[in-house]
Amino acid sequence: MRIGHGFDAHRLCEGDHIIIGGVRIPHTHGMLAHSDGDVLIHAICDALLGAIAGGDIGRLFPDTDPALAGVDSTLLLERVMQEVVARAYRVGNLDATVIAQAPRMQPHIEAMRERISGLLGVRVDEVNVKATTTEKMGYTGRGEGISAHAVVLLMPSDG
């Protein structure tokens, strides 16, 4: 078995929605990013890459690549999963935390779990997504940005 951890953060900017865990959420701001700014999917990509010692998302998908401008981050996750499968691993389970002062994540958590489990090729009960605020402390607490952590366990695909 192999374990991996990922972290990501993006700054909020002008806009009317954010995308977290592949789910579009209406908000008073948008995400400033080269891609769609999906911090949760980015953290999951890095957790998977960490588990296979595959570097990180920035190395695989440079933010200087014009082809990746505004890209749907779930496409990046699909490519990372191809790397996982190519190394003869499958996902055992995933646990993740989104850190945001606003908007409320709770109404969207189940949709995120559904979306992520489909992308990882696991059951919904093998994916957990939590959300917390930081009690108005720090950059997430001041509403300057949103961050996410993810931990993933990989199993041999024949195990």
Q: Which residues form the interface with Mg ion (CB under 5 A)?
A: 8, 42
Closer CB to Mg ion, residue 80 or residue 92?
A: 80
- β-pairing, 23-26 vs 17-20, is antiparallel
Give the helix/strand (H/E) hosting 83: helix 73-86
Q: Minimum CB separation from Mg ion for residue 21, in Å?
A: 13
Closer CB to Mg ion, residue 7 or residue 117?
A: 7
- Which backbone phi and psi does 129 adopt, to 5 degrees? -125, 125
Of 104, 100, 152, residue with least CA distance to 128: 152
Q: Minimum CB separation from Mg ion for residue 155, in Å?
A: 26
Closer CB to Mg ion, residue 58 or residue 156?
A: 58
Q: Minimum CB separation from Mg ion for residue 60, in Å?
A: 12
The residue number whose beta carbon is nearest to Mg ion equals 42
**Amino acid letter at 23?**
V
**Amino acid letter at 53?**
A
Cα–Cα–Cα angle for 62, 140, 23, rounded to 5 degrees: 60
Closer CB to Mg ion, residue 60 or residue 90?
A: 60
- Longest alpha-carbon distance in the chain: 47
3-state SS, residue 128: strand
Count of helices and strands (H, E) across the chain: 5, 7
Closer CB to Mg ion, residue 92 or residue 100?
A: 100
Q: Minimum CB separation from Mg ion for residue 103, in Å?
A: 19
Q: Minimum CB separation from Mg ion for residue 81, in Å?
A: 17
